Homo-oligomer: A and B are copies of this chain.
Amino acid sequence: MSVETQEEKPEIMEPLHRVGITNLRTVARINWKGRVYTFLPLFEVTIDVPAEKKGIHMSRLVESITEAMSEAVEEEVMGAHRSLEELGRAVIRRLEGKHPHRHAEVWIRTHLIVPRETPASGKVSYEPYDVEVGVIKNGDGSFEKVLHVKVTGNTVCPHAMANNDGKTHIQRAVGELEVRTAFDEEIALEDMIDVVEGSFSHPTYTLLKTVDENAVVQGMFANPKFVEDVAREILAKAKERFNGRIHVRVISNESIHKHDVIAETWS
Contacts and interface: CB of A to CB of B under 8 A. Distances in A.
A49 interface: yes
A265 B40 contact: no
Given A5-B162, A62-B207, A19 B256 contact: no
Given A21-B261, A171-B171, A255-B204, A232 B38 contact: no
Contact of A259 (B25, B253, B265): B25
Given A232-B12, A256-B204, A256-B208, A261 B216 contact: no
A55 B226 contact: yes
Contacts of A58: 261
A263 B13 CA distance: 14
Contact of A228 (B4, B49, B220, B221): B49
Contact of A16 (B2, B5, B26, B228): B228
A16 B231 contact: yes
Interface string A223-267: 000111101110110000000000000010111111111111110
A11 interface: yes
Interface residues of A, number: 100
Contacts of A166: 167
A236 B24 CA distance: 29
Chain A contact residues, majority secondary structure: mixed
Given A3-B162, A16-B263, A159-B3, A255 B170 contact: yes
Contact of A2 (B210, B254, B264): B210
A17 interface: yes
A216 B226 CA distance: 18
12 contacts: A11-B232, A16-B263, A19-B228, A19-B262, A19-B263, A59-B210, A62-B207, A127-B258, A163-B213, A205-B257, A206-B258, A208-B257
Interface of A: 2-6, 10-27, 38-40, 44, 46, 49, 54-56, 58-59, 62-63, 66, 110-111, 113, 124-128, 152, 154, 158-160, 162-164, 166-172, 202, 204-211, 213-214, 216-218, 220-221, 226-229, 231-233, 235-236, 251, 253-266
Q: Which 9 pairs show the lowest CB-CB distances between chains A and B?
A: A38-B38, A25-B128, A24-B259, A5-B159, A3-B162, A18-B264, A170-B170, A12-B232, A152-B258
